[in-house]
């Protein structure tokens, strides 16, 4: 007789049903190399789960105006905002994207920073592992539109979309995958993910945008330059050399 995945995980890990469901919903639970996708899905009672650990939020910078942290993968940006009482997210990173995340501490600075983002005066650099061999730098200059699909946002290239530019530079080729540097202009929702899918170089782990399965979306926000200050987040170890 089969059991619901979250109930079996709860029993195996000695945690509550709600904690078990949250771990599955956040993409942290595996059976072998396969991610458990549905918390209420039925599964054999002999199943053995692997639970991926979440790194801690690492502080990068703080002053009277701004808090900058290195967000680990599998942590929602909203969770970090709740950790820093009285602060407000200046921008967001997707749940499985790691790296530089900024929060503001007062309205005056927030308005100045938002103005800089709108004027494309903020430097935003990412690194990613993508499917395929990227042999030379190129630029993706394609407008994007974001729509709701179910309860999730989905972005695609469309003539009626908003302007968006992504600069792509290859760093390392390993097997049939490439580590690339990405510099984005405009910063639309899921811009990098949608642009790389359009270019037929989807991000490893980004199954929503055509990437192969992996234990995380291999996208990291490495550097941001805002109003003359530079903030950097060291790449997670898994980015150093991603296997064939």
Active site residues: 94
Cβ proximity of 29 and 35 under 8 Å: yes
Instruction: Report how far residue 22's alpha carbon sits from residue 77's, in angstroms, rounded to the nearest whole number.
Output: 16
* Token duo for residue 210: 């055509």
DSSP lists the bridge partners of residue 102 as: 68
Helix runs in 76-203, H state only: 77-83, 107-118, 191-198
Q: What is the DSSP letter of 177?
A: E
Instruction: Report how far residue 94's alpha carbon sits from residue 27's, in angstroms, rounded to the nearest whole number.
Output: 13
Sign, CA dihedral 193-69-169-237, equals: negative
């Amino acid at each position: 007789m089969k059991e619901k995945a979250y109930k079996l995980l709860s029993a195996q890990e000695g945690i509550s049903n709600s904690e078990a469901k949250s771990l599955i919903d956040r993409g942290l639970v595996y059976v072998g190399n396969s991610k458990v996708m549905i918390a209420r899905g039925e599964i054999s009672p002999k199943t053995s789960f692997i639970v991926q650990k979440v790194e801690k939020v690492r502080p990068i910078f703080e002053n009277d105006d701004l808090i900058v942290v290195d967000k680990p993968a599998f942590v929602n940006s909203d969770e970090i905002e709740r950790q820093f009482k009285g602060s407000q997210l200046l921008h967001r990173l997707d749940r499985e994207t790691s790296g530089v995340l900024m929060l503001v501490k007062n309205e005056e600075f927030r308005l100045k920073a938002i103005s800089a983002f709108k004027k494309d005066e903020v430097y935003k650099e990412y690194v990613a592992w993508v499917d395929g061999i990227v042999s030379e730098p190129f630029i993706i200059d394609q407008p994007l539109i974001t729509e709701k699909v179910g309860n999730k946002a989905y972005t695609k290239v469309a003539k009626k979309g908003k302007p968006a530019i992504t600069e792509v530079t290859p760093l390392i080729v390993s097997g049939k995958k490439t580590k690339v540097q990405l510099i984005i202009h405009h910063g639309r929702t899921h811009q990098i993910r949608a642009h790389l899918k359009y270019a037929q170089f989807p991000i490893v782990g980004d199954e929503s945008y055509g990437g192969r399965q992996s234990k995380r979306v291999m996208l990291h926000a490495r550097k941001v330059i805002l109003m003359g200050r530079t903030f950097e987040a060291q790449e997670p170890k898994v980015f150093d050399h991603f296997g064939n």
